[in-house]
Amino acid sequence: MDSLMNLEKKNIVIAGAGIIGISSALYLIRRGCKVTLIDKDFKGKPASYGNASWLAGSSITPVVMPGMFSKIPKMLFSKDGPLFFRFPGILKTIPFLLKYLSYAKVDKVEYISKHLASLLSDSIKEHKKLAEGTKAIKWIEESPFIFVYKNKNDFLKDSFTWDLRKKHGFNLIELEKDQLKNLLPGISNEYQFAIKIDDQGYISNSQNYLDDLINGFKDLGGEIIEDEVLDIISKDNKLEIKTKNNNLNADNILISSGIYSESFSKKFGVEVPIQSERGYHLELFETNIRIKYPIMNGYLKLAITPRPTGIRFAGLVEFGSMNYKPNHKAYELLLRNAKSMFPGITYSKKEEWSGHRPSTVDSLPIIGPSKKDNKVFFAYGHHHIGLTAAPKTGEMIGKNILRDNDQYDLTPYSPAR
Ligand SMILES: Cc1cc2nc3c(=O)[nH]c(=O)nc-3n(C[C@H](O)[C@H](O)[C@H](O)COP(=O)(O)OP(=O)(O)OC[C@H]3O[C@@H](n4cnc5c(N)ncnc54)[C@H](O)[C@@H]3O)c2cc1C
């Protein structure tokens, strides 16, 4: 272990100021490091801006689950299916998709869940620790989650997922029709059954949360640079970081550039394939119907979150779409879903957004050092759970960079796997 004196003086550059980058930056600056946070566009609205904003300790299961293969055609081709393939981009992703689907096996899903659970546990407490002393603290809300179903039989069809959650200690509270109506006034009569999980939470304004965390980092003396990292050159015991407008030196660099991390990680020996799972949101403002709790609609794969003046409907998965404009069919689908779930909903205006979830082939993020150069570190690939897992990831990678990690086993997330 380096001596504490040496650790605290480290000069660290972080490439990417999404939720993973800023969480890592705050951890490291609080440990006394000199930290520079670089982002190519601080107002760029990345995945960390537009997500469903759930602090979802219970999201321990990956997207690919046993039995999924047979459900794909319906998800893809039915009018309200939540899955999109974008042509011709999808053709290049086929090798990834085949490998991705090979993880839809009981033993593999159990392994993934176990190692997602360690990143997601105590998420509310972890976010409060992250935001402590910054204005971001006010955007953290504690709340139960409500998973709605049309009937109990449909819930029982998802028993593999729910049994895994139970195994990981989540208490499932069943709600019948009347209780559901009381909790979610305005919801369609189609939904007659629900599961409630207590002690979860959400961020009530994801943009303000990020901005306030970044301001908190600046208040602690952190440096912010708006620029694009183009290359990383390793020389003797130092790194030279080439950006569009400048060159910087650092002891270490952390790559936390979300879906854009791959261009650097390949150079430094990471072979874990990654693809964008593009997601979409539709936010309705000044709605006549207001919800108090986040709601999951498993049929539509839609996460519905209370917002300061309305409701955000977020979800869908689009593969092969990295280099294309957003898909207008996705927004139409979100609006149709919003209206079908809340018949009679009105609003003053709407916001449409899309962003790229960075998804690894084995549904576990990449957290740790490069196998080629121990000055270079990675924290990316958090697919559907990056907001929830960010504070724990920041602490894990921070300890790893400072070489004092005797607490966390990073093997499942190793960039060298
Ligand atoms: C629709 C949707 C719903 C979601 N819902 C949830 C949810 O409810 N809960 C949850 O936990 N997660 C959710 N997620 C997932 C979560 O949003 C992501 O996992 C997370 O935001 C990833 O964060 P990140 O910091 O790795 O990447 P990003 O947020 O993409 O940030 C990467 C940053 O790197 C910058 N960058 C890229 N390249 C460079 C470069 N060369 N130089 C400098 N800067 C660079 C970008 O400008 C960007 O700001 C959702 C995602 C989507 C799309």
Residue located nearest, by CA, to atom 4 of ligand 1: 51
Judgement on whether residues 148 and 285 belong to the same structural domain of the protein: yes
> What distance in angstroms lies between residue 258's CA and the mean position of ligand 1's atoms?
5
Q: What is the mean pLDDT of the chain?
A: 95
Report pTM.
Answer: 0.97
**Residue 5 pLDDT more than 90?**
no
Judgement on whether residues 106 and 187 belong to the same structural domain of the protein: yes
pLDDT, residue 70, reads 85
- Boundaries of domain holding 31: 4-47+208-269+363-413
Provide the CATH number for the domain around residue 67.
3.30.9.10
Judgement on whether residues 72 and 214 belong to the same structural domain of the protein: no
Q: Give the residue from 360, 382, 404 where a domain finishes.
A: 360
Q: Give the residue from 335, 360, 385 where a domain finishes.
A: 360
Contact by Cβ (8 Å): 258, 276: no
pLDDT, residue 338, reads 96
pLDDT tier at 15, thresholds 50, 70, 90: very high
In a domain, 279, yes or no: yes
Q: Give the residue from 319, 340, 360 where a domain finishes.
A: 360
Q: Check if 81 has its Cβ closer than 6 Å to any atom of ligand 1.
A: no
Judgement on whether residues 354 and 307 belong to the same structural domain of the protein: yes
The pair of three-digit structure tokens given for residue 406, joined into one six-digit string: 């005797």
Judgement on whether residues 235 and 260 belong to the same structural domain of the protein: yes
* N-term to C-term CA, the chain: 24
Q: Which helix (H) or strand (E) holds 225?
A: strand 223-226
pLDDT, residue 79, reads 84
Q: Check if 388 has its Cβ closer than 6 Å to any atom of ligand 1.
A: yes
Q: Check if 355 has its Cβ closer than 6 Å to any atom of ligand 1.
A: yes
Write b or e for each residue in 310-340: b if 16 or more Cβ atoms lie within 10 A of its Cβ, otherwise e. Answer: bbbbbbbbbbbbbeeeebeebbebbbebbee
Query: 250 versus 8: which is more confidently predicted?
Result: 250
pLDDT digits (tens, 9 = 90+) for 357-380: 999 999 999 999 999 999 999 999
Placement of tokens 């929830």 in the chain = 388
In a domain, 132, yes or no: no
> Which parts of 236-301 are beta strand (E)?
238-243, 247-250, 252-255, 274-285, 295-297
Judgement on whether residues 285 and 355 belong to the same structural domain of the protein: yes
Q: Check if 260 has its Cβ closer than 6 Å to any atom of ligand 1.
A: yes
The pair of three-digit structure tokens given for residue 317, joined into one six-digit string: 């998965």
Residue located nearest, by CA, to atom 53 of ligand 1: 279
Judgement on whether residues 108 and 167 belong to the same structural domain of the protein: yes
In a domain, 183, yes or no: yes
In a domain, 129, yes or no: no
pLDDT digits (tens, 9 = 90+) for 148-201: 999 999 999 999 999 999 999 999 999 999 999 999 989 999 999 999 999 999
Residue 392 CA to residue 90 CA, distance in Å, equals 33
CA 166 to chain centre: 22
> What distance in angstroms lies between residue 152's CA and the mean position of ligand 1's atoms?
35
pLDDT tier at 221, thresholds 50, 70, 90: very high
The type of residue at 10 is K
Average pLDDT value for residue range 25-48: 97
Average pLDDT value for residue range 225-246: 95
pLDDT, residue 3, reads 47
**Residue 4 pLDDT more than 80?**
no
Residue 254 CA to residue 379 CA, distance in Å, equals 7
Judgement on whether residues 108 and 64 belong to the same structural domain of the protein: yes
Instruction: Give the number of the atom of ligand 1 that is nearest the alpha carbon of residue 53.
Output: 8
In a domain, 126, yes or no: no
Q: Check if 301 has its Cβ closer than 6 Å to any atom of ligand 1.
A: no
> What distance in angstroms lies between residue 45's CA and the mean position of ligand 1's atoms?
9
pLDDT, residue 235, reads 86
**Residue 1 pLDDT more than 60?**
no
pLDDT digits (tens, 9 = 90+) for 106-134: 999 999 999 999 999 999 999 999 999 99
Q: Check if 228 has its Cβ closer than 6 Å to any atom of ligand 1.
A: yes
pLDDT, residue 8, reads 52
pLDDT tier at 307, thresholds 50, 70, 90: very high
List, in order, residues 6 or more apart from 60 with CB less than 8 Å away: 113, 116, 117, 120, 164, 165, 168
Judgement on whether residues 174 and 89 belong to the same structural domain of the protein: yes
Which of 39, 16, 49, 41 minimizes the C-alpha distance to 356? Answer: 49
Judgement on whether residues 338 and 213 belong to the same structural domain of the protein: no
Write b or e for each residue in 3-27: b if 16 or more Cβ atoms lie within 10 A of its Cβ, otherwise e. Answer: eeeebeebebbbbbbbbbbbbbbbb
Residue 265 CA to residue 255 CA, distance in Å, equals 8
Number of domains in the chain: 2
The pair of three-digit structure tokens given for residue 49, joined into one six-digit string: 């801006």
> What distance in angstroms lies between residue 358's CA and the mean position of ligand 1's atoms?
7
Q: Check if 13 has its Cβ closer than 6 Å to any atom of ligand 1.
A: no
In a domain, 127, yes or no: no
Q: Check if 295 has its Cβ closer than 6 Å to any atom of ligand 1.
A: no
Judgement on whether residues 238 and 387 belong to the same structural domain of the protein: yes
SS3 string of 171-191? CCEEEEHHHHHHHCCCCCCCC
Residue located nearest, by CA, to atom 9 of ligand 1: 54
Average pLDDT value for residue range 303-321: 96
| Residue 149: burial class (beta carbons within 10 Å; 0-12, 13-18, 19+) | buried
Q: Check if 397 has its Cβ closer than 6 Å to any atom of ligand 1.
A: no
Judgement on whether residues 315 and 356 belong to the same structural domain of the protein: yes
In a domain, 326, yes or no: yes
Q: Check if 231 has its Cβ closer than 6 Å to any atom of ligand 1.
A: no
Residue located nearest, by CA, to atom 26 of ligand 1: 258
> What distance in angstroms lies between residue 315's CA and the mean position of ligand 1's atoms?
14
Provide the CATH number for the domain around residue 237.
3.50.50.60
In a domain, 215, yes or no: yes
